Chain A
């Protein structure tokens, strides 16, 4: 059974149907990709899967439990974390402040009035280790606002990782990164893939096709094609649509080589 399963999801905003009878399944320990043109409903799909919006119809199951309509905080506590396309950080704090609040042991004492997080060496070390994992060692006390764009992208992922998730959703993690940043991000995601189940929305097809075990193609709020990267390259639907031009040919193309 898949770790995460969405069946028959339907979502409309006013008279605009954004998701239509959408079904997706993400297997444990695998990296699943979601691709599609702008306006295909990819980010709305993530927002519905992670509880920001409740679906009008359909069910969402995680690890055998029905989580349909649960709010983000409850979904987060179940072990699902996400990053955002437009970065969502605590900009007044340091990199360490951003990560430390997401640690499960800190979250567990949310209403503790007497401890001081700055004096908590154990939480500090744990947060620093998470930052080191994404290449931000030495930047612990740098203000989140003062970090470079690439470092902020890394911090966005560090905040998601700090919650020790079982399933990680990454929404266009390469957005705005240069070729070198994208290549380094691909290294990180490849490493995370060994420990986590990951779902990635991505426009950079080289990045996605190198890393993903399976890819679903979204268009008009529906899955129009799904399969392994090799199967998708051969898919007549994908070849006929303008998505065909986006899909890289097989071979060892390095991720980020065609990045913006």
Chain B
């Protein structure tokens, strides 16, 4: 039975073909991993230094996790750096005060961050919009303040120094992570696992529910989904990834310091995700992290006020193209497809002389 009259659809909108199911390992994932894995071969040739690949990988991990909250679930956190910092401090403290074992310290850092995030998430998961954002700033500042003031544990403003890059013991082989390249490949392995897991998560029924909550929380509740629990889970998972990234950052920097928990540091990850296009693409945060670190190094090499220029770029991007770089790419591909598609002319009846009968 047809209830409502079938109206002609605007071109290119209705009656699209079914989108294909996302692949288990999609092409962009392979491209990202291959590009990262080959950095030792080409990074120096383009005038960059090897440590950059390590740093980019860690920030990519952080931004990717954060986008589960912002891009997928629609939760704008401005205090996410707190969990990055908690991960870094927890790793350092566990290594120095409990047990100097890489797996134990990494797992412990993630566990500590997850537990703290679960408590914070329980307090803020029922909030939306501006109230949610303000609460994340408040909690972020609390963690930052504790890191600065609890001098006997965190080292205060000096931070926690002398974190050691340990030996990676895989049973059959032992790899010393002292060198940047060895540590980079270890971080890349961790990043690959998290990348794959998050890709599966956002494409799973649970990921679709998170996306539905972003689009319409009320409707999601009225079709029977536990909205608050899902938001809590999203915040906790994103924070656990931040804690893991923070622990790797502590390894890379061989220290943990309160600056990474500050408000402006939390703002960096927001900028990465938005400029990269995390609101429209799973891959946006990865692009954004690369763009941010390169802007810092390339612009930073020419001017001390690089952040001012980057900030202006951010403002321009939000005003002109809020979908970010990934959104520009998607729009470009759509335009290219439209241009390259064969033009379909309406089949018009021909008269005896072969002339078409049109409206005029």
> Which residues of A approach B to under 8 Å, CB–CB?
50, 52, 71-73, 76-77, 81-82, 84, 88-94, 96-97, 101-102, 106-107, 109-119, 124, 133-143, 146-148, 150-151, 153-154, 159, 162-163, 180-181, 184-185, 187-188, 191
Q: Which of B14-22, B95-103, B333-341 contacts A (4 or more CB under 8 A)?
A: B14-22
Are B223 and A159 closer than 8 Å at their CB atoms? yes
Are A135 and B4 closer than 8 Å at their CB atoms? yes
Nearest CB to that of A157 among chain B residues?
B3
**Minimum C-beta distance from A230 to chain B (A):** 28
**Minimum C-beta distance from A176 to chain B (A):** 12
- Contact status of A114 and B204, CB under 8 A, knowing A142-B16, A188-B1: yes
Nearest CB to that of B14 among chain A residues?
A142
Nearest CB to that of A150 among chain B residues?
B4
Are B224 and A143 closer than 8 Å at their CB atoms? no
List residues of chain A with CB within 8 A of the CB of B37: none
B200-221 interface mask toward A, CB cutoff 8 Å, 1 = contact, 0 = none?
A: 1101111011011001101111
Extra 14 A-B pairs, beta carbons < 8 Å, given A73-B226, A107-B225, A150-B7: A76-B221, A101-B209, A101-B225, A113-B201, A116-B21, A139-B15, A141-B17, A142-B9, A142-B15, A142-B16, A143-B16, A184-B3, A185-B3, A191-B1
Say yes or no for B13: interface residue by CB 8 A criterion. yes
List residues of chain B with CB within 8 A of the CB of A159: 219, 223
Are B9 and A187 closer than 8 Å at their CB atoms? no
**Minimum C-beta distance from A148 to chain B (A):** 5
Q: A-B pairs with CB below 8 Å: how many?
A: 152
Are B1 and A133 closer than 8 Å at their CB atoms? yes
**Minimum C-beta distance from A80 to chain B (A):** 9
Bound: A143/B21 CA distance, A: 17
> Which residues of B approach A to under 8 Å, CB–CB?
1-7, 9-10, 13-22, 200-201, 203-206, 208-209, 211-212, 215-216, 218-227, 230
- Contact status of A88 and B216, CB under 8 A, knowing A73-B227, A118-B21: yes
- Contact status of A101 and B208, CB under 8 A, knowing A91-B215, A107-B225: yes
Are A115 and B205 closer than 8 Å at their CB atoms? yes
- Contact status of A72 and B221, CB under 8 A, knowing A90-B215, A93-B215: yes
Are A148 and B3 closer than 8 Å at their CB atoms? no
Query: Which of B6, B22, B224 is in CB contact (< 8 Å) with A116?
Result: B22
20 contacts between A and B (CB under 8 A): A73-B227, A90-B212, A90-B219, A93-B212, A110-B206, A111-B205, A115-B205, A116-B21, A116-B22, A116-B203, A134-B3, A135-B2, A139-B14, A141-B18, A143-B14, A150-B4, A154-B4, A162-B223, A163-B224, A181-B5
**Minimum C-beta distance from A134 to chain B (A):** 5
Nearest CB to that of A83 among chain B residues?
B222
Bound: A127/B16 CA distance, A: 16
Bound: A101/B21 CA distance, A: 16
List residues of chain B with CB within 8 A of the CB of A185: 3-4
List residues of chain B with CB within 8 A of the CB of A112: 204-206
- Contact status of A72 and B222, CB under 8 A, knowing A91-B216, A114-B200, A138-B15: yes
Query: Which of B9, B13, B18 is in CB contact (< 8 Å) with A140?
Result: B18
**Minimum C-beta distance from B268 to chain A (A):** 27
List residues of chain A with CB within 8 A of the CB of B203: 116, 118
Bound: A259/B110 CA distance, A: 60
List residues of chain B with CB within 8 A of the CB of A118: 18-22, 203
Bound: A143/B223 CA distance, A: 20
Query: Which of B9, B18, B201, B222 is in CB contact (< 8 Å) with A76?
Result: B222
5 smallest CB-CB distances across A and B, nearest first, come from A135-B3, A146-B13, A142-B14, A76-B224, A119-B21
Are B209 and A116 closer than 8 Å at their CB atoms? no
List residues of chain A with CB within 8 A of the CB of B227: 73
List residues of chain A with CB within 8 A of the CB of B226: 73, 110
Bound: A112/B207 CA distance, A: 9
**Minimum C-beta distance from A27 to chain B (A):** 23
Nearest CB to that of B16 among chain A residues?
A141
Bound: A93/B223 CA distance, A: 16
**Minimum C-beta distance from B321 to chain A (A):** 17
**Minimum C-beta distance from B213 to chain A (A):** 9
Nearest CB to that of A111 among chain B residues?
B206
List residues of chain A with CB within 8 A of the CB of B205: 106, 109-112, 115, 117
Are A151 and B7 closer than 8 Å at their CB atoms? yes
Nearest CB to that of B5 among chain A residues?
A180
Nearest CB to that of B10 among chain A residues?
A146
**Minimum C-beta distance from B309 to chain A (A):** 32
List residues of chain B with CB within 8 A of the CB of A71: 221
Are A73 and B5 closer than 8 Å at their CB atoms? no
Nearest CB to that of A152 among chain B residues?
B4
List residues of chain B with CB within 8 A of the CB of A52: 218
